[in-house]
């Protein structure tokens, strides 16, 4: 494969259950030429995020599915390689939605200039980008943690969960993380500064979670569902809030064929008896004004050392399918990105 | 049995599944004598409500369970038969929480004087009481219907559901009821004035509900769960609100042994993709100020003919256990009360 060609990853077939390599196809194509009012983007970094599993599925969702043969969607950091657009200059670094490919054209809409002086550009895909704002908006708008309350978040070493716990602490709450394996747990406790962390692989996970939450759970930021939800449910306090952000444990399953037991009655019973709020959200639901407020605050918190993050960098667009499959298995460690340009 | 004795219904054994007559025991006792500062209440009407199924269960709930041998709890309308309390006079009609018995003592706390000029006293157990305020508080605080939106409520001929739909219409929304059988459906449409009604016994119930909600569902007031929820879920619009008030279809089941399929993943998926709010509530959660506002508004709506209700009256405390079992089976038609005193 030559760097003088474009390389694209397109959807070859809709994944059934866990995606397979063969659901993705690599295509070579000439590097496109920008027309009047267009720029040519050279992708530097591609973000891999769990929501992409929804977008390659045919099931009804919040956005139309990607069609077979389409380039897989995704947030990207890109360098402007050539510009025929008056507002954009060659060499500028921008945030774009160019998806799984090396080169893309843009008419400038949706591009955001990035300032490497504030933070490395790839943070625009993580702590300062969609995952960070997802954590901020979901936690503050729906979770509404109060000082002294207990906030629990799963996938706590991941792109969203890591930010949720740190913002909870900034707001005076107690942050309890759930992560998979001792290495991630140590990172959550020692590097991110959560008050406690529990390994969901432990055979006595539910018991350990109860011990880590002696005052119950006031906010559970839902990223995963599955057996984590079963351990959280009996610990939820009266008037607990559950922002529902992701359900990664379910993403490879067809919900219409889930075998028993039926866990809905127990969930609804607790929702009623404990007067719990479950509320789904997407990052697009929050206002632009709030996004600007988030950008300002997060940059400040980073400067003050209050907000940390970890990137899990995979080298080469060729690795994107395997890395994405691993993300759905929980094999990433931190915000997963692909370094597309060397 | 003599009317010159007290008759009480106590919990004989905790129901497993559907309650049986033998879970209840009748006890005779002398009519108690009021001491200084007490009144003797002669119960006229006993309210039967689904929440009582929770209170006779040992499972963790919002209130401690009734113990074996205790009188079953319940709202009552009573006449003051004798008073040794300075604030209460013989002959006054009051709302009390005296439970399943003919006579009870009270020190006056929790009693509310009823004015038969506004409405028949038994409405204090229904449209002007706990069920009415449950409908009002849950619909307006959590459901927040806007003019033109579609509000769906099940058990639509019942004590709470009938009020939910009528208040939804007063607020400019479209009310769609779900009820069991042609007689109840005709009542909901013709007497209560709902915009549409669907019979959940119909083999094509889900299809009929979809046809009755051509613009989807914005508010679903949850009284029942079960197969009604399965039909509602795919119709919920983006940002739909689901006040969770009751789950009568589940009350006789042990949630820990529910067989499959597992319906939780499909529910959580819709909560996320459609950004749905599920929120449990109990009537005690709302403020006294709001209850007074409700009392004022509901009395006004009744005067204007905008709020109707139907009572299902069972004669004699001896019938209470069977009537309660029937309530859980959906066999009542309107607000279920027991006429205790002839």
What does the pLDDT look like over B285-337, one tens digit per residue?
Answer: 999 999 999 999 999 999 999 999 999 999 999 999 999 999 999 899 999 99
Chain A CB within 8 Å of residue B58 CB = no
Taking contacts as CB-CB distances below 8 angstroms, the residues of chain B near A260 are 258-262
Checking ipTM against 0.85, whether it exceeds it is yes
Mean pLDDT of B177-197: 97
| In contact, A275 and B285? CB cutoff 8 Å | yes
Residue A260 predicted with pLDDT over 90: no
CA A62 to chain centre: 16
d(CA B42, CA B103): 5
Mean pLDDT of A269-294: 96
pLDDT at A256: 66
Q: In whole angstroms, how far apart are CA B269 and each of A267, B144, B264?
A: 14, 23, 8
d(CA B303, CA B217): 30
Chain A CB within 8 Å of residue B17 CB = no
Q: What pTM did the predictor assign?
A: 0.93
SS (H, E, C) chain A: CCCCEEEEEEECCCCCCCCCHHHEEEEEEECCCCCCCCEEEEEEEEECCCHHHHHCCCCCCCCCCCCCCCECCCCEEEEEEEECCCCCCCCCEEEECCCCECEEEECCCCCEECCCCCCCHHHHHCCCCHHHHHHHHHHHHHHCCCCCCEEEEECCCCCCHHHHHHHHHHCCCEEEEEECCHHHHHHHHHHCCCCEEEECCCCCHHHHHHHHCCCCEEEEEECCCHHHHHHHHHHEEEEEEEEECCCHHHCCCCHHHCCCCCCHHHHHHHHHHCCCEEEECCHHHCCHHHHHHHHHHHHHHHHCCCCCCCEEEEECHHHHHHHHHHHHCCCCCCEEEEECCC
Chain A CB within 8 Å of residue B216 CB = no
| In contact, A334 and A159? CB cutoff 8 Å | yes
Phi, psi for A44 (deg, rounded to 5):
-100, -45
| In contact, A314 and A338? CB cutoff 8 Å | yes
Q: Are strands A277-280 and A236-244 parallel, antiparallel or unpaired?
A: parallel
- Indicate the residue of A255, A261, A271 with minimum beta-carbon distance to B278: A271
DSSP H or E segment with residue B83: strand B76-83
d(CA B145, CA B147): 7
Residue A2 predicted with pLDDT over 60: no
Q: Give A278's contacts (C-beta < 8 A, 6+ positions apart).
A: A222, A242, A244, A271, B271, B276, B277, B278, B279
Average pLDDT, chain B: 94
Of A92, A19, A28, nearest to A318 (Cα)? A28
Please report which confidence band the pLDDT of residue B249 belongs to, taking 50, 70 and 90 as the band edges: confident
Please report which confidence band the pLDDT of residue A225 belongs to, taking 50, 70 and 90 as the band edges: confident
d(CA B71, CA B88): 24
State whether A250 and B269 contact (CB < 8 Å): yes
d(CA B64, CA B220): 29
Residue B254 predicted with pLDDT over 80: no
Taking contacts as CB-CB distances below 8 angstroms, the residues of chain A near B285 are 275
For testing contact with chain A, the best of B51, B59, B273, B284 (most A CBs within 10 A): B273
Of A172, A46, A138, nearest to A99 (Cα)? A46
State whether B260 and A260 contact (CB < 8 Å): yes
Question: pLDDT per residue over B216-231, tens digit each?
Answer: 999 999 998 889 999 9
pLDDT at A42: 98
Chain B CB within 8 Å of residue A253 CB = yes
Please report which confidence band the pLDDT of residue A255 belongs to, taking 50, 70 and 90 as the band edges: low
d(CA A303, CA B89): 72
Residue listed under structure tokens 């459906």: B185
Mean pLDDT of A89-114: 96
Nearest-Cα distance to chain A for B251, in Å, is: 9
Residue B256 predicted with pLDDT over 70: no
State whether A247 and B265 contact (CB < 8 Å): yes
Residue listed under structure tokens 């008037």: A239
Percentage with pLDDT > 90 across chain B: 86
The encoded tokens of residue A31 equal 């590097």
Taking contacts as CB-CB distances below 8 angstroms, the residues of chain A near B245 are 272
Chain B CB within 8 Å of residue A237 CB = no
Taking contacts as CB-CB distances below 8 angstroms, the residues of chain A near B266 are 255-256, 258
For testing contact with chain B, the best of A269, A274, A277 (most B CBs within 10 A): A269
Mean pLDDT of A75-91: 97
Residue A153 predicted with pLDDT over 80: yes
Mean pLDDT of A251-269: 81
Mean pLDDT of B133-157: 97
Mean pLDDT of B148-162: 96
pLDDT at A22: 96
Nearest-Cα distance to chain A for B271, in Å, is: 5
Residue listed under structure tokens 């009748």: B26
Chain A CB within 8 Å of residue B257 CB = yes
| In contact, B276 and A280? CB cutoff 8 Å | yes
CB interface of B with A, residues 117-146, below 8 Å: none
Nearest-Cα distance to chain A for B127, in Å, is: 22
Please report which confidence band the pLDDT of residue B1 belongs to, taking 50, 70 and 90 as the band edges: very low
Mean pLDDT of A169-194: 97
Mean pLDDT of A30-41: 97
pLDDT at A1: 45
Taking contacts as CB-CB distances below 8 angstroms, the residues of chain B near A206 are none
Residue of A nearest to B277 (CA): A279
Question: pLDDT per residue over B96-129, tens digit each?
Answer: 999 999 999 999 999 999 988 888 999 999 999 9
Lowest-confidence pick of A7-16, A52-61, A166-175: A52-61
Taking contacts as CB-CB distances below 8 angstroms, the residues of chain A near B282 are 272, 275
Q: Are strands B76-83 and B93-96 parallel, antiparallel or unpaired?
A: antiparallel
pLDDT at B255: 64
State whether B263 and A258 contact (CB < 8 Å): yes
Please report which confidence band the pLDDT of residue A201 belongs to, taking 50, 70 and 90 as the band edges: very high
Nearest-Cα distance to chain A for B276, in Å, is: 5
- Indicate the residue of A272, A275, A281 with minimum beta-carbon distance to B275: A281
Question: How many interface pairs between A and B have CB atoms less than 8 angstroms apart?
Answer: 143
Chain B CB within 8 Å of residue A22 CB = no
In B98-149, beta strands by DSSP E: 103-106, 112-113
The encoded tokens of residue A118 equal 């504030």
Chain B CB within 8 Å of residue A246 CB = yes
pLDDT at B257: 65
Question: pLDDT per residue over B62-91, tens digit each?
Answer: 778 899 999 999 999 999 999 999 999 999
Nearest-Cα distance to chain B for A85, in Å, is: 36
pLDDT at B184: 96
Mean pLDDT of B173-196: 97
Percentage with pLDDT > 90 across chain A: 86
Residue of B nearest to A285 (CA): B275
């Amino acid at each position: 494969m030559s760097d003088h060609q474009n390389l694209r990853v397109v959807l070859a077939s809709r994944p059934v259950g866990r995606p397979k390599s063969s659901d993705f196809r690599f295509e070579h194509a000439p590097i496109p030429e920008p027309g009047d009012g267009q720029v040519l983007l050279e992708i530097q970094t591609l973000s891999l995020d769990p929501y992409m599993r929804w977008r390659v599925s045919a099931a009804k969702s919040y956005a139309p599915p990607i069609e077979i043969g389409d380039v897989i969607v995704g947030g990207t950091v890109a360098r402007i390689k050539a510009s025929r657009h008056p507002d954009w200059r060659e060499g500028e670094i921008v945030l774009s939605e160019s998806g799984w490919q090396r080169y893309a054209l843009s008419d400038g809409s949706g591009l955001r200039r990035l300032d490497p002086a504030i933070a490395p550009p790839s943070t625009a895909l993580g702590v300062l980008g969609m995952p960070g704002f997802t954590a901020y908006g979901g936690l503050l708008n729906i979770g509404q943690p109060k000082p002294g309350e207990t906030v629990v978040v799963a996938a706590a070493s991941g792109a969203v969960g890591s930010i949720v716990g740190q913002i909870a602490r900034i707001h005076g709450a107690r942050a309890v993380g759930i992560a998979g394996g001792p290495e991630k747990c140590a990172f959550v406790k020692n590097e991110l500064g959560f008050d406690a962390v529990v390994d969901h692989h432990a055979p006595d996970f539910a018991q350990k979670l109860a011990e880590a939450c002696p005052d119950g759970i006031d906010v559970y930021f839902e990223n995963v569902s599955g057996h984590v939800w079963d351990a959280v449910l009996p610990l939820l306090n009266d008037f607990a809030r559950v922002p529902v952000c992701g359900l990664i444990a379910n993403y490879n399953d067809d919900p219409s064929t889930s075998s028993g037991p039926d866990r809905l009655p127990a969930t609804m019973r607790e929702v009623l008896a404990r007067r719990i709020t479950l509320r789904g959200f997407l990052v697009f639901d929050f206002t632009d004004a709030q996004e600007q407020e988030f950008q300002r605050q997060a940059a400040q918190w980073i400067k003050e050392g209050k907000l940390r993050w970890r990137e899990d960098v995979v080298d080469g667009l060729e690795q994107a399918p395997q890395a994405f499959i691993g993300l759905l298995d929980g094999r990433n460690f931190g915000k997963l990105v692909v370094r597309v340009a060397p």
